[in-house]
């Protein structure tokens, strides 16, 4: 194998790795499918409590209160929402 063939082989291998590497999924999308956030949920009398909501895919896996609550006349009425969009 001469010098030119070795250079071409190395170049082909590098190009193949550049093309294949972005297609590999090392995390298995675990990072993308699990997330958490806080949200104030209010009832019809505008009493609101803050909740810590944990989602996996589009399912709720954890729903705990943070202990913070507020009641105000200016808050809008509670609307039914999909918490894990």
pLDDT number for residue 10: 92
Mean pLDDT estimate for the chain: 76
pLDDT number for residue 75: 44
What element of type H or E holds 42? strand 34-42
CB 54 within 8 A of CB 61: yes
**Residue spans of beta strands (DSSP E) within the chain:** 34-42, 47-56, 59-71
Ordered by start, the domain boundaries in the chain are 3-71
| Token pair belonging to 44 | 């019809």
pLDDT one-digit tens code per residue, 43-71: 787 788 888 888 887 788 888 888 767 66
Average pLDDT over residues 9-13: 93
Residue 63: name the closest of 49, 77, 72, 52 by CA: 52
């Amino acid at each position: 194998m001469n010098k030119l063939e070795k250079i071409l082989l190395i170049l082909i291998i590098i190009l193949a790795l550049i093309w294949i590497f972005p297609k590999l999924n090392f995390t298995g999308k675990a990072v993308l499918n699990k997330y958490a956030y806080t949200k104030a949920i209010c009832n019809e009398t505008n009493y609101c409590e803050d909740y810590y909501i944990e989602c996996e895919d589009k399912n709720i896996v954890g729903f705990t209160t943070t202990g913070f609550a507020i009641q105000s006349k200016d808050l809008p009425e509670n609307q039914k929402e999909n918490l894990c969009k």
